[in-house]
Amino acid sequence: MLNYFKIFSRTCGFKPHQNSLAQCFRALSSSSSKYSQGAPVTPVPEITEKYPHLKTHKDIYDFSLENPSEFWGEIAKSYLQWMEPFHTVSNCDLPNGKISWFEGGKLNASVNCVDRHMRSIPDQTALIWERDEPGTEQRITYRQLYDQVGRLASALLQHGVRRGDRVAIYMPTSPAAAVAMLACARIGAVHSVVFAGFSAQALASRVLDAGAETIITSDQAVRGGKVIELKRIVDDAVRECPSVKRVFVATRTGAEVPRSGIDIPMEEAMEAAPAECEPAAMDAEDFLYMLYTSGSTGKPKGLVHSVAGYLLYCMFTQKQVFDLRPGDVFGCVADIGWITGHSHVVYGPLATGGTAIMFESTPVYPDPGRYWEMVQRLRPTHFYGAPTALRLLLKHGDSWVTKYDRSSLRVLGCVGEPLNHEAWQWYNDVVGDKRCSVIDTWWQTETGGVCLAPRPSAEGAEIRPGMPMRPMYGIEPVLLDEKNNEISGEDVMGALCLKRPWPGMARTIYGSHQRYVETYLKPMPGYYFTGDGAHRHPGGYYQITGRMDDVINVTGHRLGTAEVEDVMDEYEPVAETAVVGFPHELKGEGLYAFIIMKNDVTVTDQEVKDTLKGLIRNNIAGYAVPDHMLIVPGLPKTRSGKIMRRILRKIAANQPDDLGDISTLQDPSIVEQIVQLHRQQVQ
């Protein structure tokens, strides 16, 4: 097998101790590189056979930008199984938020993910469920998957679920959850998977926002040896959701759990239903699913993905970015509650007829060797995880990795946040034994699939640590300055935007198309604004510098600071709060809450903090609980009353001597008081 990557230190003089992002930028920007040409790593025969003059990766990339209809039209015809062909590849008006691909086409996502493979490779394993208890994995073939999806789809119909209905799925990462997603897709219901770590409140608000009448859940979940009372949480949520008419309950542990009149035991319902269920002929632009993510306001937004465009882009990136080959076993350890789980545990691997691992546990259960023991046992060719887990594991030492056989691995991917240099090197050297491709992928819930990654690329093209580097076919990244002008050249930084629509982009925010247009398309008219900043290095390689809005990234989970503030502000003794992120060695970013109390409160500071922690846990989730809470006499505000978060971020990052100009503040003296309290209580 070819070893594509080059050791970074040799190509640009990077020293192992230079592991901060700033150092990384400097080292990278002073390096020079050559974009090597040659045959693409993963061929695109759908294009090169029809257009034989396209020889190199660059030829195909340029073609994808210049002739998007020809490019995506060919890919769509070849990758997807259509019930009726499309007549128009692309009909988009990006500035106004009208995105439409493959008009006239009809298809069904479950047919594409299951039926066609059930016919050609019925006995191939589709899903390997790596259950929480090590060594108890279960395999499910395409034939079995077909049977289960058909039965649940029939059961949903029998119980009154209809095309277009929204169905909330609140389950652990498991084949039952994948079956639930695909069964919805089969009948044209729109699934909304809610991460099973979210609280009852968070679930209820998502169910209400979607107007879901149906929830699919499990009796319990098991994660890291701990039991989570999923059904109980659902019951609490349902009390606040009069719209909910039925709750399908799958069996995970078989424990006695509370029952209610609207419960439907899922396995019994499936047993009683026919395995054959006619797939709904969906329009290309019909909604496949919605998935909530945090934005800069307090209200999470339900991003909607289309049937054809999403499935195509997800499938195409699954193959191209990860160089997927027949017989590969794709080991993505993401939870199905996030976009990575949708695209690379369920839809991507299944649509490509692959074998996917579904990982139910945690990286450290029962010990920090869990991932690699699993790799030895299940022999995946790919491992796709999150930088936060890698940073945690590298602290535990190499022996947890090296004692297991990892020779099956060919590609190591990561996603969700910047992979710092130290973690990249460890991933490459220790986990990959310096013989795997390390693929740092950049994308978002909104993009549906990977937009920047080292692959696809020309054969032999270098891979550099700490950056996703290259755009995917059809993706044209640009950097804009404060005046919305495109920044040209190399070694420049700006707001990362994508210049043209692509099939996988989210179509709307459920219930608020205006919010969609205002969030993504209006800030920089004519472009899709990602919310991230980026650095374009020599060679045209992109590195993400972080979010430009009030969204932070805690252990790879996206969180709006306003969401946490809204919960804390509800507590009677609290007058005002401001939450900011700060660099955190393991989590990527940590949360720091500054709290002002009302004048006449009698509760102690500790009581306030404990209550707030409980409220955040109950209203959002455990990962949203701030690492630090500081009760302060005031906040740094401009004369117009706006909180200067820049100052709070500096204090939270332990850089109080570098606050810049504070003379425009209403009361500059408040800053010194906050710094003093921070030094006494936190630093």
Residues near ligand PRX (CB under 6 A): 293, 339-340, 415-418, 440-445, 468, 530-532, 544, 547, 553, 558
Q: Return the number of the residue (175 or 556) whose C-beta is nearest ligand PRX.
A: 556
3-state DSSP assignment of residue 554: strand
Q: Return the number of the residue (191 or 558) whose C-beta is nearest ligand PRX.
A: 558
Distance CA 479, CA 476 (A): 10
Distance CA 358, CA 347 (A): 12
Q: Which residues of 347-379 are buried (b: 16+ CB within 10 A; e: fewer)?
A: bbbbbbbbbbbbbbbbbbbeebbbbbbbbeebe
**Rounded least distance, CB 346 to ligand PRX, Å:** 14
Provide the residue type at 372 as one letter. Answer: W
**Rounded least distance, CB 323 to ligand PRX, Å:** 18
**Rounded least distance, CB 78 to ligand PRX, Å:** 26
Q: Which residues of 99-116 are buried (b: 16+ CB within 10 A; e: fewer)?
A: bbbbeebbbbbbbbbbbe
**Rounded least distance, CB 553 to ligand PRX, Å:** 6
- Is residue 168 within 8 A of residue 203, CB to CB? The reply is yes
**Rounded least distance, CB 53 to ligand PRX, Å:** 34
Report DSSP state, residue 487: P
- Is residue 188 within 8 A of residue 282, CB to CB? The reply is yes
**Rounded least distance, CB 442 to ligand PRX, Å:** 4
DSSP notation for 166-198 = EEEEE--SSHHHHHHHHHHHHHT-EEEE--TTS
Q: Which residues of 323-337 are buried (b: 16+ CB within 10 A; e: fewer)?
A: bbeeebbbbbbbbbb
Residue of 418, 417, 438 whose CA lies nearest to 426: 438
Q: Return the number of the residue (319 or 547) whose C-beta is nearest ligand PRX.
A: 547
Sheet holding 246-250, edge to edge: 263-265, 246-250, 214-218, 166-170, 190-193, 287-293, 301-306, 508-509
Q: Return the number of the residue (90 or 317) whose C-beta is nearest ligand PRX.
A: 317
- Is residue 85 within 8 A of residue 108, CB to CB? The reply is no
Structure tokens at 228: 């989570």
**Rounded least distance, CB 539 to ligand PRX, Å:** 17
Distance CA 554, CA 619 (A): 17
**Rounded least distance, CB 67 to ligand PRX, Å:** 28
Question: Between the CA of residue 457 and those of 323, 377, 461, 505, 511, what are the distances in Å?
Answer: 10, 31, 6, 22, 39
**Rounded least distance, CB 450 to ligand PRX, Å:** 8
Q: Return the number of the residue (199 or 340) whose C-beta is nearest ligand PRX.
A: 340
Q: Return the number of the residue (342 or 645) whose C-beta is nearest ligand PRX.
A: 342
Q: Return the number of the residue (80 or 506) whose C-beta is nearest ligand PRX.
A: 506
In degrees rounded to 5, what are phi and psi of residue 320?
Answer: -75, -45
Structure tokens at 327: 């017989």
Report DSSP state, residue 52: T
Q: Return the number of the residue (509 or 544) whose C-beta is nearest ligand PRX.
A: 544
Distance CA 529, CA 497 (A): 5
**Rounded least distance, CB 547 to ligand PRX, Å:** 5
**Rounded least distance, CB 446 to ligand PRX, Å:** 7
Q: Return the number of the residue (110 or 293) whose C-beta is nearest ligand PRX.
A: 293
Give residue for tokens 């297991």: 404
Q: Return the number of the residue (110 or 425) whose C-beta is nearest ligand PRX.
A: 425
Q: Return the number of the residue (68 or 531) whose C-beta is nearest ligand PRX.
A: 531
